[in-house]
């Protein structure tokens, strides 16, 4: 496992500027080999590490840039076509966007949740342990864990006012018209009924 270097930090600063502009992420030429999550032995003990501050810094930076990229795209989609088209935008682009950021940073970036809208974003057994901990202690900023050969970074995603449009309470903060589009695209949706400040999910970044 390589420690983050100064080169990374410089590279990161450049990428952060790039994403601030909300333009499409450039595909890097680096190949990203995905290791299926299943290849990690789920019985392996998940341990909290305290000697991995650099991963904490790096994870926070990547989560911040990814949030900026996603929310920039989301706002753009709302402005150009309204909420319904923004829902469709998220449906088609949210995962490809985090996947392309994963290639840029040579990590695996995901947003996971216990009440996921897209089944791809469900919690793994080890994610559930961390999620429960964030729920019990909501003031934590982030966590770095060693999991087998991997370093995992987790950061809570809290619900903001804008999010109510698509994750709020039906008939109250979530308009019915939006709910209709959501259930057409996601018949198994679990990601509604949230209040501002609630734990909506977590960033999960796997360093290789």
Which residues of the chain form contacts with ligand HEC (CB under 6 A)? 71, 74, 83, 86-87, 90-91, 94-95, 111, 113, 116-118, 121, 157, 159-160, 162-163, 165-167, 191, 200-201
Q: Which is nearer to ligand HEC, 89 or 146 (CB)?
A: 89
Closest separation between CB of residue 59 and ligand HEC, Å? 16
At closest approach, how far in Å is the CB of 157 from ligand HEC? 5
Which residue, 68 or 208, is less far from ligand HEC as judged by CB? 68
Q: How far is the CB of 71 from ligand HEC (least distance, A)?
A: 6
**Minimum distance from residue 46 beta carbon to ligand HEC (Å):** 21
Tokens for 15? 């990428």
For the record, the structure tokens of 143 come out as 């966590």
Q: Exposed e or buried b for every residue in 73-91, given b needs 16+ CB within 10 A? A: bbeebbeeeebeebbebbb
Instruction: Give me the least distance between CB of 123 and ligand HEC, in Å please.
Output: 10
Q: Which is nearer to ligand HEC, 74 or 205 (CB)?
A: 74
**Is the CB of 57 or the CB of 159 nearer to ligand HEC?**
159
Is 54 or 60 the residue whose CB approaches ligand HEC more closely? 60
Q: 203 with 66: CB under 8 angstroms?
A: yes
């Amino acid at each position: 496992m390589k420690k983050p270097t100064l080169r990374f930090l410089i590279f990161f600063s450049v990428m952060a500027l790039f994403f601030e502009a909300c333009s499409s992420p450039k595909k890097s030429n680096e190949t990203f080999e995905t290791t299926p999550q299943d290849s990690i032995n789920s019985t392996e003990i998940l341990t909290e590490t305290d000697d991995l501050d650099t991963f904490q810094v790096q994870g926070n930076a990547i989560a911040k840039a990814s949030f900026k990229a996603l929310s920039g795209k989301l706002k753009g989609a709302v402005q150009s076509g309204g909420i319904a088209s923004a829902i469709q935008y998220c449906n088609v682009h949210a995962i490809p966007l985090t996947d392309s950021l994963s290639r840029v940073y040579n990590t695996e970036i995901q947003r996971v949740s216990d009440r996921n809208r897209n089944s791809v974003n469900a919690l793994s057994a080890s994610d559930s342990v961390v999620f429960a901990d964030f729920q019990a202690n909501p003031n934590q900023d982030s966590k770095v864990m060693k999991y087998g050969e991997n370093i995992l970074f987790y950061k809570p995603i809290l619900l903001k006012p804008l999010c109510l449009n698509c994750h709020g309470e039906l008939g109250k903060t979530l308009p019915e018209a939006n709910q209709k589009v959501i259930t057409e695209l996601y018949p198994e949706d679990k990601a509604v009924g949230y209040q501002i400040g609630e734990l909506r999910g977590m960033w999960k970044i796997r360093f290789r």
